[in-house]
Structure 1
Amino acid sequence: MKELHIISFNYPYPPSYGGIIDVYYKIWALSDLGIKIHLHCFVDQVPETIDQEIEEITENVFFYEKKKNPLLYFSGIPFAAAIRDSDVLLKNLEKINAPILFEGLQTTHIIRFLKDSGHQLYLRHHNNETEYYKGLSSSEKNIFKKIVYRIESLKHKGYQKKLLKKFDVVFCLSEKEYDEVKMYSGNAQLIHIFHGNQSVKQLDKKGNYFLFHGDLTTADNKKALIETIDLFKTLPQYKLVVASDRASEDIKRKISAVENISLTPILTTENLHHLLENAHANILISYQNSGTKVKLFNTLYNSRFVIINGNITDDPILTNLCLYGANMDEIRQQIITSAEKNYDDNEKRKEILEKTHSDHAKAEQIVKIIFKN
């Protein structure tokens, strides 16, 4: 029986946002291949129960509370990594001799105690954290948060340079990060995002509205939505649905002030899929260059047209399945163009996505690398 420790930056259920979606469906796919998963989760508060969906795909689940000391902001270690440190985690890892897969650089603070322990060490490189925090700083309006994010970006620059060479393999999400890690430390492997979609939905030619969905507490998504709202003010003939469970009062006011824009909660995965299936086109915009966004897969598998800017993906195969706009004027034109078009890309998407982006195939690749079989 092949066994694997996975150290997650959070509890991976429900799989409701980018990084956690990748963690959950990776565990699911590896478990489906017969890998015995020992899951370690850093959390704000230890849950009272473990969800059945997690129990069914893991051998053990361990929880560790993130440290709550604000003075860790003044540490030379990035704050996200400094708060994820645990002596109990080290003891649990030593009890079971198995390779260790770290989910994101924020889980790697304990690596200083592990390099000579005999464990094989692997990293799932979720983001170039230097660029990620730099992007957050650029998008953030609050001056205090802007400064904090900029400092975190600088901390990560030294941290990831020091750490990336310590892993047997670094599994990268995107072409850009793969090229960066390969050039720096030579231990990169490109494994695209795990997304949980099994097959491309068969949809008819027309949907009912344009859709923007996402977590509206993040600076990047808020900025993208405000740009999109301004766009649809000039396109009163088209309906925009904004789907989110986390919208501020300010965002709600901006949406309610425009007659052709409405806000709806997501609540469940099933409801999100219903919204996607009834959308004619999806607006996906980002101001952070951090590889392929996981919500791109949800839209390509479950909806019709997808209108993107350059930061949604750096994968040319995926870009070719979308309508691209380099700026908001071009995005506007793609909205107008797609509104008049019939959707008939089901078979093209099915052929490409199920061949190149299957979760099962990605899990097999990881198993082959880690267990050398």
Structure 2
Amino acid sequence: MNELHLISFNYPYPPSYGGIIDVYYKIKALSDLGIKIHLHCFVDQIPHKIDPEVKEITENVFFYQKKKNPLLYFSGTPFAAAIRNSESLLKNLEENEAPILFEGLQTTHIIRFLKDNRHKLYLRYHNNESEYYKGLSVSEKNIFKKIIYKIESLKYSGYQKKLLKKFEAVFCLSEKEYNEVETYSKNAHLIHIFHGNTSVKELDTKGKYFLFHGDLTTADNKRALNDVIDLFKTLPQYKLVVASDRASEDIKRKISEVENISLAPIQTTGNLYRLLEDAHGNILISYQNSGTKVKLFNTLYNSRFVIINENITDDPALTDLCLFGSHMNEIRQQIITSAEKDYNDTEKRKNILENTHSDKAKAEEMIKIIF
């Protein structure tokens, strides 16, 4: 049986935000096809237990606490990578000569310490990190954080150029990133997002509210939510639910001040699906152009109308399944228009999503390349 070390930037459960959705459902799809996964996770705090959903799809799970040394900001290595460094991880990897799949450049700091040629190395390229941090710097209002993100962007620019050629293959999420990597290091493979959905839900024609969901610790999502809150202040006739487990006190206060907006915890995948199933429309906005956002798939498979701006996906087939607004006035108009409409797009979505974006097909392609 084939084995694989997978190093994750965080514990991949519950799969409720961003790249963690891709990590969890990739592990599940590979495991379903018989791959034994040795999962290594960098975390803020070591969990007391491993969730049964993770136990079922892994051979074993190891945790490593992220470093908390603020002096690492002054390291030549990007901070997000420098804090994910562990001698225990190196020892655990040396126990087994299986290939290593790094989830994101932030997990790759240990490559310089690996013994030569014992492992084949693969990268899941979640973002062009240099562009990502540049975008965070633009979105961030706190001047100190703005400078930190700008420096991190510059560090990643050199870091990713130095590292990308070291991998047997770099698995990219989007056309944009595939073209960037292929031009530079000639080892790119386009493997779209793993999202865990198998079939498009059959839903009634009407939902109960509009939904905004995401990780509210990122500057991009916070900026988007602030704009959406301002929008719904002018639309008191419509209800907005903000779903997140990562809302700051400041965000909670802003939400509580608007009568037609409420905050809902996610906590489990089941809760997220229930929130999606009850939503009439979903609002997905980003100010960073980094390919297709993971949460787009969850909304298209499990909910009704999806309203996006140009940074949510670069896939024209997926854009065609959404309502589009290039600025907030157009987004506002799409909210008003969709609120009055019945949802009837299930068959159209089935034809596109179930035929071209299944997790099993993506896992088979990765296995072919790695093994």
The residue identity in structure 2 corresponding to 1:357 is H
Q: Which amino acid in the other structure matches residue 17 of structure 2?
A: Y
Q: Work out the CA distance in 2 between the residues paired with 1:303 and 1:194.
A: 18
Q: Which stretch shows the higher mean deviation, 112-121 or 69-78?
A: 112-121
1:23/1:184 Cα in 2 relative to 1: closer, same or farther (>3 Å)? same
> Could you say what secondary structure the match of 2:133 adopts?
helix
* SS of residue in 1 equivalent to 2:202: coil
Instruction: Give the structure 1 partner of residue 341 of structure 2.
Output: 341
Aligned AA for 1:358? S
Tell me if structure 2 keeps the 8 A contact 1:133–1:152.
yes
Match in the other structure for 2:332: 332
Q: Which residue of structure 1 aligns with residue 51 of structure 2?
A: 51
Cα distance in 1 for partners of 2:179, 2:313 equals 15
1:2 matched to 2:7: no
Alignment of 1:110-149 (within 5 A): 110-114=110-114, 116-149=116-149
Tell me by how many angstroms 1:149 deviates. 0.8
**Cα contact 2:16–2:266 (8 A) shared by 1:** no
Q: Which amino acid in structure 1 is aligned with residue 122 of structure 2? A: Y
Tell me: CA distance 1:254–1:182, structure 2 relative to 1, closer, same or farther (3 Å).
same
Q: Which amino acid in 1 is paired with 2:200?
A: V
Q: Which moved more, 1:301-310 or 1:250-259?
A: 250-259
Change (3 A) 1:120 1:267: closer
Cα 1:92–1:264, aligned 2, differ >3 Å: closer, same or farther?
Answer: closer
Aligned position for 2:108: 108
CA shift, 1:358, in A, is 0.7
Q: Distance in 2 between matches of 1:26 and 1:167?
A: 19
Please identify, of 36-45 and 74-83, the stretch whose mean Cα deviation from structure 2 is larger: 36-45
The answer as to whether partners of 2:102 and 2:108 remain within 8 angstroms in 1 is: yes
Q: Does 1:166 align with 2:159?
A: no
CA distance in structure 2 between the aligned counterparts of 1:13 and 1:267, rounded to whole angstroms: 10
Moved over 3 A (4+): none
Task: Give 1:90 shift.
Answer: 2.0
SS of equivalent residue, structure 1 residue 124: strand
For residue 178 of structure 1, give the secondary structure of its aligned residue in structure 2.
helix
- The answer to whether the 8 Å contact 1:104/1:127 transfers is yes
**Equivalent runs, 1:1-373 vs 2, <5 Å:** 1-114=1-114, 116-371=116-371
Supply the distance in 1 between the matched residues of 2:357 and 2:7 (Cα, whole angstroms): 24
- Measure the CA separation in 1 of the matches of 2:243 and 2:54: 27
Could you tell me the TM-score, scaled by structure 2's length?
Answer: 0.96
Shift of 1:115: 7.2
Deviates more, 1:161-170 or 1:109-118: 109-118
List per-residue Cα deviations over 1:71-98 (Å, max 9, x = no partner).
1110000011111122222222222121
Classify the secondary structure of the residue corresponding to 1:193: coil
The separation in 1 between residues aligned to 2:352 and 2:10, in whole angstroms, is 32
Structure 1 unaligned regions, length at least 5: none
Query: Identity percentage over the alignment?
Result: 82
Distance 1:12 1:249, change over 3 A: closer
* Distance (whole Å) between structure 1 residues aligned to residue 250 and residue 46 of structure 2: 32
Matches of 2:57 and 2:219 in 1, distance apart? 34
- Over 3 Å counting, the alpha-carbon distance change for 1:272 and 1:49 in structure 2 is closer
Q: C-alpha displacement at 1:221, in angstroms? A: 1.4
- Structure 2 CA distance for aligned equivalents of residues 89 and 275 of structure 1: 37
Distance apart, 1:197 and its partner CA: 1.3
Single out whichever of 183-192 and 91-100 deviates more from structure 2. Answer: 91-100
Q: Is the 8 A contact 1:115 1:166 kept in 2?
A: no
Q: Please, which runs of 5 or more residues in structure 2 have no aligned partner? A: none
Look up the equivalent residue of 2:51 and give its one-letter code: D
1:364 to partner: Cα distance: 0.5
Tell me the alpha carbon deviations over residues 79-127 of structure 1, each in whole angstroms, 9 at most, x when there is no partner: 1111112222222222212111111101111212337323211000011
> Per-residue displacement from partner, 1:306-358 (whole Å, max 9, x unpaired)?
00001111111111110111111111121122122211110111121111111
Give the whole-Å Cα distance in 2 for the aligned partners of 1:169 and 1:268.
Answer: 33
Instruction: Report the more deviating stretch, 188-197 or 36-45.
Output: 36-45
Equivalent position SS for 1:39: strand
Alpha-carbon RMSD:
1.5
Q: Secondary structure at the match of 1:116?
A: coil
For 1:263 and 1:13, locate their aligned partners in 2 and report how far apart those are by CA, in whole Å: 21
| SS of aligned partner of 2:37 | strand
8 Å CA contact 2:14, 2:269 repeated in 1:
no
- In structure 2, what residue type is equivalent to 1:186? K
- Distance in structure 1 (CA, Å) of the matches to 2:229 and 2:66: 37
Stretch moving more, 289-298 or 41-50: 41-50
Whole-angstrom CA distance in 2 between matches of 1:115 and 1:310? 44
Q: CA offsets per residue over residues 146-165 of structure 1, 9 Å max, x none? A: 11111001000000011001
Structure 1 residues 40 and 325, CA gap change in structure 2 (3 angstroms)? same
Q: Larger deviation: 98-107 or 330-339?
A: 330-339
SS in structure 1 of the partner of residue 236 of structure 2: coil
Comparing 297-306 with 33-42, greater Cα deviation is found at 33-42
CA distance in 1, matches of 2:273, 2:82: 37
> 3-state DSSP class of the match of 1:15?
coil
Query: What is the distance in 2 between the residues matched to 1:41 and 1:237?
Result: 44
1:190-223: CA deviation from partner (whole Å, max 9, x where unpaired): 1111111121110111112211122223221121
Q: How far, CA to CA, are the matches of 2:38 and 2:259 in structure 1?
A: 51
Opposite residue 80 of structure 1, the aligned amino acid is A
Secondary structure of residue in 2 paired with 1:251: helix
Task: Measure the CA separation in 2 of the matches of 1:285 and 1:316.
Answer: 17
